[in-house]
Amino acid sequence: MPVYCFEDTHGEVHDRVFPIGKAPKSIVVRGKKAIRCFAAERKTVQASSCWPMECVASGVNASQAGELRDYLAKSGVPTDVSSDGNPIYKNPRHRKKALKARGMFDKSSYI
């Protein structure tokens, strides 16, 4: 479900989740009315805000961390791997290459 933004009279933006097409024009937050803010909904988060990223979903067992590190290096995508076995991707392009080297892909990826 999408996240909708509402701005109160003090300029504070509040996020709420509603089904598509079911978001109200305003909500009440701590007794004060907040009106839907389309400008806040259109703002994007900078891509660099979450990188480097430790990916649990594409991780391996902790005992296989060294094997994964070596495999990715031999595949031409040197990647740090945490002691828990989770690869640490430097940026979106590095992540895509490392996943591809392992025969994996992200269905929700934007690249």
Distance CA(83)–CA(64), nearest Å, equals 9
**Other beta carbons within 10 Å of 39:** 9
Is the domain of 37 the same as that of 63? no
Is the domain of 52 the same as that of 97? yes
* pLDDT value, residue 65: 96
Is the domain of 61 the same as that of 94? yes
Mean pLDDT, range 1-17, rounded to an integer: 88
CA distance to 20, 64, 86, per residue, from 2 (Å): 7, 37, 29
Q: How many domains does the chain have?
A: 2
Is the domain of 60 the same as that of 33? no
Judged against a pLDDT cut of 70, whether residue 26 lies above it is answered with: yes
Domain that holds residue 28: 3-42
The enclosing H or E element of 95 equals: helix 92-101
Distance CA(41)–CA(18), nearest Å, equals 13
Is the domain of 64 the same as that of 37? no
Q: Looking at the domain assignment, is residue 77 inside a domain? A: yes
Is the domain of 67 the same as that of 95? yes
Mean pLDDT, range 25-38, rounded to an integer: 92
* pLDDT value, residue 45: 55
Q: Looking at the domain assignment, is residue 36 inside a domain? A: yes
Q: Looking at the domain assignment, is residue 107 inside a domain? A: no
Distance CA(27)–CA(37), nearest Å, equals 11
* pLDDT value, residue 40: 85
Question: What is the DSSP annotation of 65-111?
Answer: HHHHHHHHHHTT---EE-TTS-EEESSHHHHHHHHHHTT---TT---
Place of tokens 């805000």: 49
